[in-house]
Structure 1
């Protein structure tokens, strides 16, 4: 039986663990606290992601190592480098492929839809660092230090850890006005965590995916206003009431709010169309994105609401 090692028990790591476990694979999921999904195929382990020796021991004999870590944005510059280095060491000593759950930050400000060939041109230190993590891993593979590496990139998540769920979700479910620190009518790609998990597993287990980056199949772009309307529809909540917060107020509030301060760094992603092209992964692996209303029903349930339609069905990404 294959064993997969997942670092990080957030939404992406947990969803990936469940995806693998439901396929009958054995999973070790590692977090500082030892949390993770309860499943007979999942072993939850408490460990420090900067401890290279410990990670290398846990990686011994595994099919793949998944980097699903996601430190708080305001700690990226301090937390990411030692964790990325420890994971490279674990991949080197174990010989297991390293799969990185990445993002679109490394591209920096763009004007056209992003493909995997879009230059990694981010200049802000925090955003450039994500590109540097990928470059270092790819360089290690090309130097023969690690067997294989791949990065799976997704956009803002529909179910968790995004401006949508963290800022809009609760007030929309309560029928209150949502104050949004971004323009309301700019197209933006949104990614389901189920699709991210499916793409991570494909990247780990299909050698065609190795040693390059892939974009996760995602639904067609929607504006924040369109997404909020779909969200309230599936939640059976009142039509959304939205107000965009002017940029100067976001900037001033960021002096006192770490979250809003970090949003200033990525404000460009909402100021103009921010669109990800994932046709390469769809064509290569036959993956299709989860229907957006199904993903939003999950978001409703995770935020404590009751989605219209009752119990959730299996809504994972499907293979053609």
Structure 2
């Protein structure tokens, strides 16, 4: 049994912490607000952008997993101090730094995305993501830390609610047999990374020194369009057929006046207006993890959302 520190407790942080705890490891989770302890998981409230406090929390850890991220509209100001604190904690403690990344840093590319592509994004969020890895990689190459970045496409699966394009805005209408609205072209092929596979990749690469010093793409099922994903979920939920329509650009612009998230998504809108396909063959040529079969993804996702709906309904009834 070893000690691991997980920063952030959103969908990816929670899945990673629970996977580690299930493997028998000692797990500490850092968030701003903290949470009650869970079996095998200690929760600690602190600001992870404070390098001294984060270093103290990471003492003795085999690995530090960063699964935290500021709100999109605050990336430019809040990511740099958080990234610096993570690197400082890794250097002071000797823990392997495992960064959960995404695909923003590549920018628009007219081919499947592979890890050897340059981080050539010109938008502010893409530049921030590229800078985070550049900082960690430089420290790794100079021998000051051991670091790896694990990049995923849009999250999909149990536990993915806010921020997932196939999440709260899409799955509940599917379960109710209603029309679904999606961003961009509903027929453009798109890579959707299954959340449990994200956690499994983070843990696998943290413990294998062959992975350190570079970025890897999480094994992901073959790209499917939003329409195909909706059809698969609807078939599992037995609510087919479901109509799928594209959210009108004018509506998105109007909504962006009131929603910081939608306003910030304009920078990466290209990911949904044309094919956006991630290639994880490099990972699969070296390591053991493979993408969960998509039928299993659909089954687990529908079950999770149905259970969540039942729990929310039961809670509401208790308050009546």
TM superposition score normalised by structure 1: 0.91
Q: Helix, strand or coil for the counterpart of 2:44? A: strand
Pairing of 1:206-225 with structure 2 (within 5 A) = 206-225=208-227
1:246 aligned to 2:248?
Answer: yes
User: For residues 130-182 of structure 1, what are the alpha-carbon distances to aligned partners after superposition, in whole Å with 9 as ceiling and x for unaligned?
Assistant: 01100011111222322x10000000011213111132122222222222231
Q: Helix, strand or coil for the counterpart of 2:285? A: helix
Partners of 2:46 and 2:38 lie apart in 1 by 18
When the two chains are superposed, the root-mean-square deviation of aligned CA atoms in Å is: 1.7
Partners of 1:306 and 1:70 lie apart in 2 by 24
User: For residues 102-136 of structure 1, what are the alpha-carbon distances to aligned partners after superposition, in whole Å with 9 as ceiling and x for unaligned?
Assistant: 00110000110011101111100111100110001
Partners of 1:256 and 1:42 lie apart in 2 by 37
Q: Is the 8 A contact 2:133 2:149 kept in 1?
A: yes
In structure 2, the partner of 1:8 is 8
Q: Helix, strand or coil for the counterpart of 1:303? A: helix
Count of matched residue pairs: 305
In structure 2, the partner of 1:35 is 35
1:157 aligned to 2:155?
Answer: yes
Partners of 1:60 and 1:183 lie apart in 2 by 47
Q: Is the 8 A contact 2:231 2:240 kept in 1?
A: no
Q: Helix, strand or coil for the counterpart of 1:30? A: strand
| Structure 2 portions without partners, runs of 5+ | 310-320
Deviation at 1:37, TM superposition (A): 7.5
| Structure 1 portions without partners, runs of 5+ | 308-320
* Moved segments of 4+, more than 6 Å: none
Q: Helix, strand or coil for the counterpart of 1:5? A: strand
In structure 1, the partner of 2:175 is 173
Partners of 1:31 and 1:78 lie apart in 2 by 18
Q: Is the 8 A contact 1:189 1:276 kept in 2?
A: yes
In structure 2, the partner of 1:315 is none
In structure 2, the partner of 1:133 is 132
TM superposition score normalised by structure 2: 0.91
Partners of 2:67 and 2:10 lie apart in 1 by 8
Partners of 1:188 and 1:206 lie apart in 2 by 29
Cα distance 1:187–1:31, how it changes in 2: closer, same or farther (>3 A)?
Answer: same
Aligned residue among 250, 264, 271 for 2:266: 264
Pairing of 1:38-49 with structure 2 (within 5 A) = 38-39=38-39, 41-49=40-48
